[in-house]
């Protein structure tokens, strides 16, 4: 059966392990026929990916987004290896524990800068270097959370970074749509127990609260997110850009 991503080359950034949202995206994209190219942060993540990919052969490139030079080098290497690409998923965020736990009032400049740098600025950098090697009509996607637009308990500084990220989606969509017909969107995912979430104080309460607000009592899974990501990366979403699409089983209807 033909997939909606047949013939598309899509870079997925941010698989840490099998619980990662990015891993759900990889599986859904492959189900729809995409050629997936992965990037990983460091050697530790590569070892984890090697285990996950024992029976799948995907190309992988190192990319710590903390430096623009790394991002540029990675997309140049991807271009040399596979040619032009059709899409990118940016599933990357980080804030140190002290910055997350102290509440927004107590955030120090260093912690603020690090969280914004990795969780929000990196999306600009990735969009810049990815769009340089992208076919016309390409699609760029990032991951956000409802804590960008609501004061979710303990989400703190990450909510501030996600608010910046969501603004970037709109500005980049306007710029890249005009010049290259590239679409830029975000999925606002419901809470899912991943490595990143365990950095949030009382994350068990957050996960429980989120599940309680779903319309059907069930948290979304990485695969649920991946299926919507497949649509947004495909030509079926040709008219969708600059949008924040909620994939949260209805949490945003109530919170």
Q: Would the annotation count 20 as a binding residue?
A: yes
Return the DSSP state at 235. Answer: G
Footprint of ligand NAD on 49-68 (CB under 6 A): 63-66
H or E stretch covering 60: strand 59-62
* C-alpha distance from residue 84 to each of 69, 176, 184, 202 (Å): 19, 16, 17, 43
Nearer to ligand NAD, 33 or 77 (CB): 77
Nearer to ligand NAD, 133 or 192 (CB): 192
Radius of gyration, alpha carbons of the chain: 17
Are the beta carbons of 63 and 122 closer than 8 angstroms? Answer: no
Continuous segment of H or E residues that includes residue 252: helix 251-254
Catalytic residue among 94, 145, 171, 246: 145
Minimum CB distance to ligand NAD, residue 22 (Å): 6
Q: Is 247 in the site for ligand NAD (CB under 6 A)?
A: no
- Pick the stretch among 9-17, 95-103, 149-157, 232-240 that binds ligand NAD (CB under 6 A): 9-17
- 145 as an active site residue: the answer is yes
Interface segment toward ligand NAD; rule CB under 6 A; list 72-80, 89-97, 128-136, 226-234: 89-97
Instruction: Report whether 107 belongs to an annotated binding site.
Output: no
**CB of 179: closest distance to ligand NAD in angstroms?**
26
Helix ranges (H only) for 117-244 are 122-131, 156-180, 203-213, 222-233
Is 94 a binding residue for ligand NAD by CB under 6 A? The answer is yes
Does 95 contact ligand NAD by CB under 6 A? no
Measured between alpha carbons, how far is 143 from 177 in angstroms, rounded to an integer? 19
Among the listed residues 12, 16, 160, 182, the single contact to ligand NAD using CB under 6 A: 16
Copy the structure tokens of residue 91.
């599933």
With respect to ligand NAD, which residue has the nearer C-beta, 188 or 238? 188
**CB count in 10 Å sphere of residue 173:** 21
Structure-block tokens of residue 134: 């992208």
Integer Cα distance of 132 and 157 in angstroms: 31
User: Among all residues, which ones are annotated catalytic?
Assistant: 145, 155
- Binding site per annotation, positions for NAD(+): 14, 20-21, 41, 64-65, 92, 162, 192-196
Q: Which residues lie near ligand NAD (CB under 6 A)?
A: 14-16, 20-22, 41, 45, 63-66, 91-94, 118, 143-145, 189, 191-192, 194-197
């Amino acid at each position: 059966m033909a997939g909606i991503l047949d013939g598309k080359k899509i870079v997925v950034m941010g698989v840490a392990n099998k619980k990662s949202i990015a891993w759900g995206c990889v599986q859904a994209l492959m189900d729809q026929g995409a050629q997936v190219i992965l990037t990983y942060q460091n050697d530790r993540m590569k070892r984890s990916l090697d285990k996950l990919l024992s029976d799948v052969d995907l190309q992988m490139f190192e990319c710590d987004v903390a430096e623009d030079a790394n991002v540029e080098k990675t997309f140049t290497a991807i271009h040399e290896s596979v040619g032009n690409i059709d899409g990118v998923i940016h599933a990357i965020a980080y804030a140190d524990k002290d910055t997350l736990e102290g509440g927004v009032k107590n955030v120090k400049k260093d912690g603020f800068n690090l969280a914004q740098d990795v969780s929000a600025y990196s999306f600009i950098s990735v969009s810049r270097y990815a769009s340089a090697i992208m076919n016309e009509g390409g699609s760029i996607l990032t991951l956000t959370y409802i804590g960008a637009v609501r004061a979710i308990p303990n989400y703190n500084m990450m909510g501030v970074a996600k608010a910046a990220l969501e603004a970037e989606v709109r500005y980049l969509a306007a710029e890249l749509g005009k010049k290259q017909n590239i679409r830029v969107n975000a999925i606002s995912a419901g809470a899912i127990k991943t490595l990143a979430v365990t950095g949030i104080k009382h994350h068990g309460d957050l996960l429980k609260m989120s599940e309680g607000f779903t319309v059907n009592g069930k948290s979304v899974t990485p695969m649920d997110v991946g299926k919507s990501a497949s649509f947004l990366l495909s030509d079926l979403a040709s008219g969708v850009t600059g949008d924040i699409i909620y994939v949260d089983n209805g949490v945003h209807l109530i919170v």
